[in-house]
Amino acid sequence: MKIVTIIKEIGERPQRLLELLLNRTCNILPEWIYLSIKFKMKMGKWPNIRHPRTFNEKLQWLKIYDRNPKYTEMVDKYAAKKWAANIIGHDYIIDTIGCWNSPEEINWDILPQKFVLKITHGGGGNGIIICRDKNKLDKTMALDSLKKASSLNLYKYNKEWPYKNVVPRIIAEKLLFNNDNPEDVVNDYKFYCFNGKMEFMLISNERSNKHAKFDYFDRNFIHLPFKQGGENYEGKISKPSNFELMIDLAEKLSKGIPHVRVDFYDVNGHVYFGEMTFFDSSGFAAFDPEEWDYKYGDLIILP
């Protein structure tokens, strides 16, 4: 990258300079040093990685030291389906229409009018294309987004080890939608599990907005008095129709894992497995009040 380009990216923001410099050293610095610096930049304080106490600190520890090879299969959005089906059954798995090694290989002819394209080795953003009408889809834009997302490397910049060896692919799935409002965004429910026990869950609202709302509930669906990643939703939040079933499935899938977030969709009364996330917000999202960072940190028993 030319120095002029770097200067333009930095602008008047010294934080951006630090981020650029840190990214340039991501393959040079030892992981614990790199994560410590990034934690300081994101959270405003140094982490205690040697003797972690908080939820976010322990996620950094797990990135470095908890390297179960099965985790790679669990975070691969294609391979995880077979893995999950073997535990909870095929009824909870979203049908896969196709799988390709690159965006250029996508066979558009086999895709239905409504579908979803996803990269298998990362999160949202450019890595998810939601198509509600195949005839109106801008394929050029979709391919550009998927190409950018295909270069994503969650291990390189966040040291999320389970993603290090995931083979980048593109999968197509059927589009899930509610019968009463096909244009509405289907809600997903995120269950935070600790060694096979679900302790709290997240429901997000206004996700199409840049300022999504996040609310947390315990296993009795009592609203928890903290914020993380955004403000609470001001409207009424109803208990998911399959709340207890999703808890049961999440606990089966998370058995034997110090901590993992298990996501599900509840669509027209049917539950579908979403994904496994080992490092929520990569361990860089502060709790407000901070006591909850320690409270949930106590639930992660490090191996």
State pLDDT tens for residues 73-103. 999 999 999 999 999 999 999 999 999 999 9
48-61 per-position pLDDT tens digit: 999 999 999 999 99
Average pLDDT estimate for 285-291: 97
**What are residue 98's phi and psi, to 5 degrees?**
-165, 160
Q: What top-level class would CATH report for the domain 95-175?
A: alpha beta
DSSP of the chain: --HHHHHHHHTT-HHHHHHHHHHHTTTTS-HHHHHHHHHHHHHSS---SSS--SHHHHHHHHHHH---THHHHHH-TTHHHHHHHHHH-GGGSPPEEEEESSGGG--GGG--SSEEEEESSS-SGGGEEEES-GGG--HHHHHHHHHHHHT--HHHHH--GGGTTPPP-EEEEEPP-BTTBTTSPPPEEEEEEETTEEEEEEEEE-TTSSS-EEEEEETT-PBPS-EESSPPPSS--PPPTTHHHHHHHHHHHTTT-SSEEEEEEEETTEEEEEEEESSGGGG---EESTHHHHHHHTT----
Q: Which CATH number is 47-92+179-303 given? A: 3.30.470
Does position 194 have pLDDT exceeding 50, yes or no? yes
Q: Measuring CA to CA, which residue among 185, 148, 166, 178 is closest to residue 276?
A: 166
Q: Where in the chain is the domain with CATH 3.30.1490?
A: 95-175
Sort residue 223 into left (φ over 0), alpha (ψ -120 to 50) or beta: beta
- Cβ atoms of 117 and 129 within 8 Å: the answer is yes
pTM for this prediction: 0.89
Ranges 206-215, 227-236, 294-303: which has the least confidence: 206-215
**What are residue 9's phi and psi, to 5 degrees?**
-70, -35
Most confident of 4-18, 31-45, 165-179: 31-45
Virtual torsion, Cα 225, 228, 232, 236, nearest 10 deg: -70
- d(C-alpha 216, C-alpha 218), whole Å: 7
Q: Where in the chain is the domain with CATH 3.30.470?
A: 47-92+179-303
110-154 per-position pLDDT tens digit: 999 999 999 998 766 668 889 999 999 999 999 999 988 888 788
Does position 279 have pLDDT exceeding 60, yes or no? yes
- d(C-alpha 203, C-alpha 289), whole Å: 19
- d(C-alpha 301, C-alpha 244), whole Å: 25
